[in-house]
Amino acid sequence: MSRLTGTKTEILDGAGYAYSFDRQVYMNRKTKKAFSVEFVQDHSEDQIRKYIREHTDGLEWRFYFNLPPSEAVKHELECALG
Amino acid sequence: MPLARPERTVEDRLREEYFDLLPDIRRVVDELEAEVKHCLVPISLRLDKYERLVVTSRVKECESALDSLRGRQEGATFDSGRPELYSLDNLNDLAGVRVLAFPHSRLVEADRKLRERFQTWTADPVRGYDENDEPLALTYFGYCRASDRIRAEFQIVPMLTALFWEVEHSVIYKPSPSLKGVARSLEMQQRTRDVLKGLKAFEDEFANLIRRDPLAGKKKKKKRK
């Protein structure tokens, strides 16, 4: 299991993100955003806050990954995350 | 009329690969366990009553291997459009041997012996929780003579940590679905760190006392005669 600092986890928890253990992402169904563990590890707390605030239309999932996921991966994640 | 063949998933392909590799994995585990035990015989023969040096081995199970490979992908998801990206030969621990040692001085000795024997293997220690912490376990991976298709791994772990992991791994590290909330709990993660620190403190204090015990030295001298 990847290790994250408590602060980043608290920022995400506070913004309504739940952790999906199976997919190793923090996800928010309301805003349809998902952050991979790797992405969270490699970005600062301020950057994470900025991405959380980033406006989306909320119609399609937005994935914050270090390597942009392929269409097939996006599709599978969208099905899994609901 | 032939039946339509359902599309094979990445997982299907990997399962096929696993069972193709399985005879090699078994041979490698047997060879590595024998080599490690043989290498440690000079230490085992000199152990005091309270000291422990135990060698265990395991063949990684098929689903565990798949989970391990899947977990390395960002988003823990295989790209179904590119199955050629994935192979179990990327894993270092299909064949694994573990050395459990107590006290720390025996662990250091075992590590020295094994590094001499497996000089070309790559070190990949299990990090501590904090940057300045000592590694939780010393791990090395490489190839055995029994097969050049898969890598094997051996790990040298303080016995107290290894025994704690026996319980902790099924709760925190690789939890069942009903326990995933426990694994995510920051408080539980903190307790885990506390336990590991406590076990280390126990070992350190024990080592200090043994060093200061005048009888320990006399016993050794007697043995030498």
- What are B25-51's pLDDT values in tens digits? 999 999 999 999 999 999 999 999 999
Q: Nearest 5 degrees, angle CA B201-CA B207-CA B210?
A: 140
- Residues B100-115, mean pLDDT to the nearest whole number: 96
Return the number of CB contacts < 8 Å for A and B.
51
Strand runs (DSSP E) across chain A, as ranges?
Answer: 18-20, 25-28, 33-36, 62-64
Domain-located, residue A75: yes
pLDDT band for position B95 (50/70/90)?
A: very high
**Considering only B100-109, B129-138, B174-183, B193-202, which range has the smallest mean pLDDT?**
B174-183
**How many domains are contained in chain A?**
1
Q: CB-based contact (8 Å) between B178 and chain A? A: no
Domain-located, residue A23: yes
Q: What is the pLDDT of residue B179?
A: 52
| Structure ipTM | 0.83
Q: How far is CA A48 from the centre of its chain?
A: 9
Q: What is the pLDDT of residue B169?
A: 74
pTM of the model: 0.82
- Chain B residues whose CB is inside 8 A of the A39 CB are 74
- Residues B157-163, mean pLDDT to the nearest whole number: 94
Domain-located, residue A25: yes
* β B122-123/B138-144 pair status: antiparallel
Q: CB-based contact (8 Å) between B184 and chain A? A: yes
Q: Are B144 and B31 in contact (CB under 8 A)?
A: yes
Mean pLDDT of chain B: 87
Average pLDDT per run of 10 along chain A, which is 82 residues long?
Answer: 68 91 90 93 94 88 94 92 82
- Cβ distance of A70 and B79 shorter than 8 Å: yes
pLDDT over 90 at B23, yes or no? yes
* Of the candidates B96, B100, B95, the residue with the CA atom closest to the CA atom of residue B40: B100
Domain-located, residue A1: no
Domain-located, residue A27: yes
Q: What is the pLDDT of residue B171?
A: 63
pLDDT over 70 at B181, yes or no? no
Between residues B173 and B196, the one the model is more confident about: B196
Determine how many CB atoms are found less than 10 A away from the CB of residue B119. Answer: 9
Whole-number Å distance between alpha carbons of B137 and B162: 9
Whole-number Å distance between alpha carbons of B160 and B52: 10
- Cβ distance of A21 and B183 shorter than 8 Å: yes
Q: Are B113 and B101 in contact (CB under 8 A)?
A: no
Q: What is the pLDDT of residue A8?
A: 87
User: Could you tell me the residue range of the domain that residue A36 belongs to?
Assistant: 6-81
**For domain B10-224, which CATH number applies: 3.30.390.30, 3.30.460.10, 2.30.29.30, 3.65.10.10?**
3.30.460.10
